[in-house]
Amino acid sequence: MKFIQSVKNPQVKQWKKLLTKKEREKTGQYMLEGFHLVETALHYKDEIVELIISEEAELPPHWNVDDIEMTMVTPEIARALSDTEAGQGVFAICRKQEFSEVLEGRTYLLIDAVQDPGNIGTMIRTADAAGLDGVILGSGCADLYNSKVLRSAQGSHFHLPIVQRPLLEVIHQLKEQGIPVFGTSLQEASDYREAEVMDAFALLVGNEGSGVDEDLLSVTDSNVFIPIYGRSESLNVAVAAGVLLYHFKQSLKNV
């Protein structure tokens, strides 16, 4: 195994650059951190470029790391690569997945301009839990390969296709395929329990402060809201997505 001891080693500098979106786009690679995420990645070996392990970290004996390139580094380098304060000294460099432009499934989550990476990651995790066929990130969303998005998604980005595409186009395409698109809005919308979900749906959620863009809301099949029984003004977007995705999923006919 290679052992790198200097923070100034060019390889270390290259890895660190993957914390920026620009470098991730240039190289088509990204970095995962922590035991849980790296263990999930090991089920998708083809996507792993290499593992980076601090000499202080102990790999779980059940990990199968055959045929995977590994580099040992000093704890100092591990700290330099980590974007958390309590890093675990275990990293994987992975290849970004390319998904086809074809939306072949029947259930999708569309996310418009959600800025908080934790919200994006949590929604990807929820979409996975609800058994959706994919997630589409529109413009203004935090980058999928941002380390906070990946951390909140808890490995779900390996489980389902996630694409970054203009939502107007996606909505038109879904409608052409007969998939009803439900926007979320507090104005001119109906109670979500009245939505007619037959054998497919796409749910569209939006920005934490301003909601879904008006231009998108105007082309959906219908728009829904979640009733507020108390005095809070609204729900957190990831919580709202959870309530709606589970309701829609469980309302599907013949699936």
CB of 238 to a second copy, least distance (A): 6
Which of the stretches 63-71, 141-149, 213-221, 236-244 binds a second copy when contact is defined by CB under 8 A?
236-244
Identify which of residues 49 and 239 has a Cβ nearer to a second copy in the complex. Answer: 239
CB 68 within 8 Å of CB 61: no
Identify which of residues 46 and 233 has a Cβ nearer to a second copy in the complex. Answer: 233
Identify which of residues 40 and 223 has a Cβ nearer to a second copy in the complex. Answer: 40
**Mask for 122-151, x = binds a second copy (CB under 8 A):** x--xxxxxxxx-------------------
Q: Indicate whether 236 belongs to the interface with a second copy (CB under 8 A).
A: yes
Cα–Cα distance for residue pair 166/112, rounded to 1 Å = 9
CB of 227 to a second copy, least distance (A): 9
Contact residues for 247 (Cβ-Cβ < 8 A; gap 6+): 192, 193
Beta bridge partners, 137, equal 111, 164
Identify which of residues 204 and 238 has a Cβ nearer to a second copy in the complex. Answer: 238
Cα–Cα distance for residue pair 94/72, rounded to 1 Å = 17
CB of 57 to a second copy, least distance (A): 19
Cα–Cα distance for residue pair 35/77, rounded to 1 Å = 17
Q: Looking at this protein, which amino acid is placed at residue 30?
A: Y
Question: Which position among 22, 229, 253, 254 is part of the footprint of a second copy (CB under 8 A)?
Answer: 229
Cα–Cα distance for residue pair 205/109, rounded to 1 Å = 8
